[in-house]
Amino acid sequence: MEKISFYIDGILNSTGIALADGELDPAWFWVVFGIPLLAAFIITYCIKRFVNFHS
C-alpha cells in the first residue's frame, strides 16, 4: 500500500495537483478518493459473481 501511495504522490507532484514537500503530503488524496473507489469496485465485482453464480 505504501508503494502505491508513493507512486500516486509522484503522479500528483508531476501534474501539479498537489505537492509533497516536507510536511505537506498528498497521500490524503489517495486515501480519500482512491481506496474507497477500489473497495467499491471489489465489492461490486464480488456481488456480481455471487449473484451470477447462484442464478
pLDDT digits (tens, 9 = 90+) for 4-17: 777 777 777 777 66
If we measure between CA atoms, which residue out of 45, 43, 32 comes closest to residue 5? 32
CA distances from 25 to 3, 8, 10, 30, 54 (A): 14, 11, 11, 10, 45
pTM: 0.47
What is the per-residue pLDDT across 24-55, written as a single tens digit (0 to 9) for each?
555 666 677 777 888 899 999 999 988 887 75
